[in-house]
Structures are given as C-alpha cells and as structure tokens.
C-alpha cells in the first residue's frame, strides 16, 4: 500500500509499505477515504517532537471504511464508514472511565504523560498514522464513530480532531454570556475555537495571528475581530487598551510550539530546541487575560519545558485549563451542530491532494503557500 514516509525534518515522501495487520483482538483495519495534515503534524515535520523515527507514517485525522475487524470487535462490520478520533482510547482505564479519552493509560509504553495518538511519534505510542491507504485502528470497538448517511466525508474527517479541539478550547475557557474571548492563532483549530466561542455565548471574539490571509479568512468564517500582531507595537498593551485597561475574560492558545513573534523564544525553542517550542502565544495569553481570568491551552508543546511568566499566573490569580480533546465525548453534540448548520467544518478546507503529492502538501502547509489553511489527502481517490 502507499503511505506517507517521514525521512527527517522537512522531508517526507509517499512510499510503498506493507499492509497493516490485526495485532490485537480489538483492532480493525480501515481503508482511508480522507486524511488531513494537521497543524500539529508540522511540529513533527519540523523535527520538534522527540522520538520521531525515520520511516514513521504520520496522520491522526482520518476517516475510512472498515476493511477487517479483530475477533473482539462486535459493534463494527466490514464496509462501515467511520470517523476515527485522533486519540486512541481503551474505554476501561482509570482515565477513560472519567471521560478523559485523550489521556488513556493503556496505549503508550513510551510515555505516561502522553496518551497514544495515531502517527504522532513514539512519544505518543509508536502507532503508524492515517496518511496512508490503510491503517491499523486499535480499540476499534470503542473509538471509531459511524458517519451518518447525510454527512459529507469532508465534514466527518474534521470531526476527528480540529472541530472537537477547537470546541474544547472554548469549553475549557468557561465562557460566560458576554465574555470577551481572545484566540491566538488563525489556523484551523483557532478558527474553530473562535467559532465555538460564540456557541458558548461570547460577547466579543478577537483573533490574533501574523498572516493576513488567515486573518481575512477568520474575519468572515468565525466571524471575529482580527488583528495582525506584527502591526501592533505590543499585543498585550493593545489588548489591555481595547478592554478598558483590564484584559480579556478568556484567552485561548491555539498556536503551540511553532509560534512566531519573539526572537529569544524562536532561538531557544524553535532553532536550538532547548525549549519545548516557542511559547510566545502562551506568554501573551497569560499577560493579555484579566486578573482572575481563564487561559485555555490546546496548542501543542513538546514534553520538556517552556519559558512562560509563571509569576503572573500566580499574581493575577489565573486559571489554566488544558488537555488533548476528548473527541468521543464531544461527537454527539458536534454532529448535531453540523446537522443544524451551526458549524461548517469543511469550510476551512482549502486544498485536496492525492497521497502521491504528500511532500508538496506538507511544504505548502508549512510554508503557508497558496493561501493554505487546511489540506486534505484523498489516499484512495
């Protein structure tokens, strides 16, 4: 079968690989119909995530048709079209029982802090991902969700990560009616976080980024007030001034370790990799939120450490909330939102690419070429 093949930082290709096999009674093999490149795949692509081995296949946002099931899988049958949450979850452990499906304890020998994720390095379990024609899906009797007949696969594939992550970012913000919500990052997750903020009753939604084409997209898609931080002397001072000197009620970091905008953070976090990525978006979020406010983090950082103003968290009495999205918990509500037209996931797709052109798709997404916001692969097109 054809699959994405990681060769090193900034180097990927499409390569023939052996077909995946059932390795556990609760496994399934899924023939991939859609697979996205996620912003967090770029952290892998840029060589920022430890234990990313050459030869790995990335891809944690995918949907597809069940090709084969293990002996213990009774709720799925061959031919079912399913969307597969990006986090692998057993449904039985201490954490899954409490709904923390992004924090399952039965899927990742290499780390305890990180739950197993498809195609996201050995730090996240060493599973091959869905940027391939076929993929092994562990715990297939728990994670995958049948795609309703009326749903477009382009919408379905975005319900595997982007939409639930954006939605949970807003949910973790504890947004109350009338709150001012600031979202750092106008990438796919930031767009969905800003859109979801309205669903929770926000009174004002602001999106900050440095790419004008993405800000223009956010202005109409979310919709939101948008600002390019490169045009502001100091983004934190600006946020204080625009909130009567107090700061925003809720700040969301939808950027993570690939941020731009600060020389020292770029040097230590991105270039020298002495930090777990550039944390300037989180730094700004902490400093832009009002005293007693809430900072919600869904941006992805590595497992080491970052320079952020911890003293300000204490002195301002902030609440920090963060997690990998518990996709399974959100799906029933999000499917309803799509059905009712409250969310339009596929509206963010800008490029559809055959698997053969994966190297160009990664480069285009990474270098922000051709107005790229969300590239989707069609592996069995």
Partner 1 sequence: MLQERTRIAAAHTPIDPTSVVGWGVDANPKNDPTYPYRDRSKDEGLTSNWQRPAQQRSDVEILQSIEHIRRPAVFGTSTPPSGLSGMIRRLAFRWSESNWIHWLLLMGADRINVVEGIGQDLARAQVPNIPAEMGAKAEWQHNKKGLATKIAVTVGIGLVAYALFSRKRSDGPPQRVVKLSSGEG
Q: Which of residues 341-360 bind partner 1 (CB under 8 A)?
A: 357, 359-360
Helix-strand-coil split of the chain, %, nearest 5: 30, 25, 45
CB of 124 to partner 1, least distance (A): 9
**From residue 339, how far is each of 81, 138, 150 by CA, in Å?**
18, 28, 8
**How does DSSP assign 59-84, residue by residue?**
---EEEEEEEE-TT--S--TT-EEEE
Nearer to partner 1 by Cβ, of 38 and 239: the residue is 38
Among 232, 237, 267, 367, binds partner 1 (CB under 8 A): 367
Q: Which of 173, 216, 214, 219 is nearest to 193 (CA)?
A: 173
Task: Report how many residues bind partner 1 under the rule CB under 8 A.
Answer: 72
Please say whether the dihedral angle defined by the alpha carbons of residues 22, 26, 29 and 32, taken in this order, is positive or negative: negative
Report how far residue 369's alpha carbon sits from residue 228's, in angstroms, rounded to the nearest whole number: 18
CB of 48 to partner 1, least distance (A): 9
Nearer to partner 1 by Cβ, of 336 and 370: the residue is 370
Among 33, 87, 123, 133, binds partner 1 (CB under 8 A): 123
Instruction: With contacts defined by CB under 8 A, name the span among 34-42, 90-98, 185-193, 338-346 that binds partner 1.
Output: 90-98
Instruction: With contacts defined by CB under 8 A, name the span among 101-109, 152-160, 182-190, 193-201 that binds partner 1.
Output: 101-109
Binding to partner 1 (CB under 8 A): which residues in 272-301? 273
**From residue 20, how far is each of 23, 53, 297, 364 by CA, in Å?**
9, 18, 34, 28
Q: Fill in the per-residue mask, 221 to 260: x = in contact with partner 1 (CB under 8 A), - = not in contact.
A: ----------------------------------------
Q: Fill in the per-residue mask, 29 to 48: x = in contact with partner 1 (CB under 8 A), - = not in contact.
A: ------------------x-
Instruction: With contacts defined by CB under 8 A, name the span among 75-83, 105-113, 231-239, 240-248 that binds partner 1.
Output: 105-113
Among 62, 86, 134, 139, binds partner 1 (CB under 8 A): 139
As given in the structure block, the two tokens for residue 222 are: 């979310």
Taking the CB of residue 154, how many other CB atoms lie within 10 A of it? 20
Among 74, 112, 271, 310, binds partner 1 (CB under 8 A): 112
Among 1, 270, 363, 378, binds partner 1 (CB under 8 A): 363
Q: Is 73 one of the binding residues for partner 1 (CB under 8 A)?
A: no
> Cα 252 to the chain's mean position, in Å?
13
Binding to partner 1 (CB under 8 A): which residues in 324-343? 326, 329
CB of 178 to partner 1, least distance (A): 20
Report how far residue 93's alpha carbon sits from residue 84's, in angstroms, rounded to the nearest whole number: 19
Residue 43 and residue 273 in contact, taking contact as beta carbons nearer than 8 Å: no
Q: Which of 34, 37, 1 is nearest to 20 (CA)?
A: 1
Report how far residue 74's alpha carbon sits from residue 66's, in angstroms, rounded to the nearest whole number: 12
């Amino acid at each position: 079968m054809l699959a994405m093949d990681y060769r090193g930082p900034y180097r990927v290709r499409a390569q023939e690989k052996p077909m995946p096999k059932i390795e556990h009674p609760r496994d399934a093999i899924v023939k991939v119909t859609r697979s996205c490149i996620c912003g967090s795949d770029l952290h892998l692509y840029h060589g920022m995530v430890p234990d990313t081995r050459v030869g790995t296949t990335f891809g944690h946002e995918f949907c597809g048709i069940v090709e084969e099931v293990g002996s213990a899988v009774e709720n799925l049958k061959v031919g079912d079209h399913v969307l597969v949450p990006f986090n692998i979850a057993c449904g039985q452990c201490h954490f899954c029982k409490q709904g923390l499906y992004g924090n399952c304890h039965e899927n990742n020998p290499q780390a305890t802090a990180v739950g197993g994720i498809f195609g996201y390095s050995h730090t996240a379990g060493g599973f091959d991902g869905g940027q391939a024609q076929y993929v092994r899906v562990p715990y297939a009797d728990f994670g995958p969700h049948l795609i309703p007949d009326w749903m477009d696969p382009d919408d379905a594939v975005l319900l595997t990560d982007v939409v639930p992550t954006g939605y949970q970012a807003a949910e973790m913000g504890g947004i109350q009616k009338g709150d001012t919500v600031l979202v750092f990052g106008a990438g796919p997750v930031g767009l969905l976080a800003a859109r979801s903020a309205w669903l929770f009753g926000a009174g004002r939604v602001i999106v900050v980024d440095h790419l004008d084409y993405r800000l223009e997209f956010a202005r109409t898609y979310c919709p939101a007030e948008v600002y390019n931080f490169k045009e502001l002397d100091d983004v934190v001072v600006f946020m204080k001034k625009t909130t009567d000197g107090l700061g925003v009620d809720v700040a969301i970091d939808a950027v993570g370790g690939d941020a731009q905008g600060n020389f020292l953070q770029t040097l230590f976090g991105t270039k020298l990799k002495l930090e777990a990525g550039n944390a300037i978006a989180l730094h700004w979020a902490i400093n832009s939120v009002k005293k007693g406010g809430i900072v919600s983090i869904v941006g992805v950082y590595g497992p080491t450490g970052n320079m952020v103003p911890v003293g300000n968290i204490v002195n301002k009495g902030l609440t920090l909330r963060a997690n990998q999205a518990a996709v399974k918990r959100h799906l029933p509500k999000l499917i309803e939102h799509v059905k009712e037209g409250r969310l339009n996931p596929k509206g963010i797709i800008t490029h559809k690419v055959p698997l053969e052109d994966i190297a160009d798709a990664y480069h285009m997404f990474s270098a922000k070429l051709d107005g790229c916001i969300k590239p989707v692969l069609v592996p069995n097109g």
